[in-house]
Structure 1
Amino acid sequence: MISEQEILSASILIVDDQQSNILLLEEMLRGVGYACIASTSDPYTACELHRKNRYDLILLDLKMPGMDGFQVMEGLKDIETNGYLPVLVITAEPGHKLRALSAGAKDFVSKPFDLVEVQTRIHNMLEVRLLNRELENHNKVLERTVLERTAELRESEARFRRLTELSSDWHWEQDENGHFTKIFGPVFEMLGIRVDDELTITRDHQGGSWNETERDLLEENLVARRPFLDFVYTRTNPDGSQQYLMVSGEPMFDPSGRFIGYRGIGKDVTETMRPDVESPANE
């Protein structure tokens, strides 16, 4: 919420070619506690003053010689690129009110002044203006925070991926239908398998064969959507040698609890699974 002190500390510019009107408005504003009041009787200076000071509210007379209030508002539009003109127009002609609002003014007061009405309209307009500005600042902070958090998440994801790459030979993700959506590492070359356009892996028996019992156990885990850790299975290469592969995986679910696939890592552990060979010195 906007405090009363914030409203009374808002910056106000009075633009009126009649010095008597300026003095009346200044006296009225200071009388109720407004502290930051500027004025000009030259409409040609209004836009430049606002460009330098960005007033919270401009009290603008519509009927002025040389450059009227409508022309001033057109100039203000070049400054307020967000389309919001903090203008409360002053007019003695009822027909100008609708035209002024259509031109971008946010409210109006009529001459001769009803001081209570003027005070009320100024107070209400400033409250809305400051609330909008506070919301804009909050949105900017929120947007900056989102960008920072997104960058942090991307950095964290990249770091996690790098650590995964260092600790395994490949890592992978599948969708709910078992199609591979992400694969990192030389899994195809290592396993001697082929992949179709949808990243669906098929067994290439010409490149070797898996232990079907072990593969069935792995498939059971996947079908049951169970996590598995360091599951080792074997593959017989075309030259008859045995290859040992270790995989770990976990199911993925969206915030509503719907299963959306699997992700995991894999590693060739053939060297660690081979029996130790005694050296000649120990024979």
Structure 2
Amino acid sequence: MSAKVLIVDDAAFMRMMIKDILEKNGFEVVGEANNGIQAVELYKKFEPDIVTMDITMPDMDGIEAVKAIKQINASAKVIMCSAMGQQTMVMDAIKAGARDFIVKPFQADRVLEAIKKVLG
């Protein structure tokens, strides 16, 4: 049984990159969101095993979305995706309940390592 993943990023090509990495490695991508509001709605709908969450997005950023998802499910597994130079935001995200983070541009082995670690 493959893990169900929700991908959240406001850049379509970033979602496509991470989706490609995950699907090639047997994960099932159940949904894609381009902002935090969509992410929370899709989380409720699909109840994914894990979420990859961009930090900077319009309407609701990744940190607020993590907080909202954690209110729905306290044991939700979220991995933050950040560009270089967003360390303070990554720390805020970890405090909000994110389990790990990966840095863009995505490297397949690091993405898979983080997901496997968080899924444990």
Contact 1:91-1:109 at 8 Å conserved across structures = yes
Residue 186 of structure 1 is matched in structure 2 by none
Cα distance in 2 between the residues matched to 1:62 and 1:27? 20
Which of 18, 37, 42 aligns to 1:44? It is 37
Contact 2:36-2:64 at 8 Å conserved across structures = no
Residue 72 of structure 2 is matched in structure 1 by 79
Aligned residue pairs total 118
Give how far 1:76 is off. Answer: 1.0
1:164-175 map, 5 Å: none
Contact 2:5-2:30 at 8 Å conserved across structures = yes
Cα distance in 2 between the residues matched to 1:34 and 1:120? 13
Q: Which structure's CA Rg is the greater one?
A: 1
Superposed CA deviations along residues 167-200 of structure 1, whole A, max 9, x for unmatched, are xxxxxxxxxxxxxxxxxxxxxxxxxxxxxxxxxx
User: Tell me, what secondary structure is at the counterpart of 1:59?
Assistant: strand
Superposed CA deviations along residues 26-47 of structure 1, whole A, max 9, x for unmatched, are 1111112223442121321211
Cα distance in 2 between the residues matched to 1:36 and 1:69? 19
Cα distance in 1 between the residues matched to 2:15 and 2:68? 21
Cα distance in 1 between the residues matched to 2:29 and 2:107? 22
Question: What letter is aligned with 1:91?
Answer: S
Residue 238 of structure 1 is matched in structure 2 by none
TM-score normalised over the length of structure 1 = 0.40
Residue 107 of structure 2 is matched in structure 1 by 114
User: Tell me, what secondary structure is at the counterpart of 1:39?
Assistant: strand
Contact 1:70-1:103 at 8 Å conserved across structures = yes
Superposed CA deviations along residues 143-181 of structure 1, whole A, max 9, x for unmatched, are xxxxxxxxxxxxxxxxxxxxxxxxxxxxxxxxxxxxxxx
When the two chains are superposed, the root-mean-square deviation of aligned CA atoms in Å is: 1.4
Residue 87 of structure 2 is matched in structure 1 by 94
Residue 32 of structure 1 is matched in structure 2 by 25
Superposed CA deviations along residues 68-119 of structure 1, whole A, max 9, x for unmatched, are 0011112112211xx2231000011122222211111011101122221111
Contact 1:26-1:37 at 8 Å conserved across structures = no
Cα distance in 2 between the residues matched to 1:72 and 1:60? 8
Question: What letter is aligned with 2:77?
Answer: P
- More relative contact order, 1 or 2 (CA 8 Å, 6+ apart): 2
Structure 2 unpaired stretches of 5+: none
What percent of counterpart residues are identical? 31
Structure 1 unpaired stretches of 5+: 1-5, 129-283
Contact 2:3-2:27 at 8 Å conserved across structures = yes
Cα distance in 2 between the residues matched to 1:107 and 1:73? 12
Cα distance in 1 between the residues matched to 2:109 and 2:75? 25
Say whether residues 1:103 and 2:100 are aligned partners.
no
Question: What letter is aligned with 1:17?
Answer: D
Cα distance in 2 between the residues matched to 1:27 and 1:36? 9
User: Tell me, what secondary structure is at the counterpart of 1:60?
Assistant: strand
Give how far 1:20 is off. Answer: 0.5
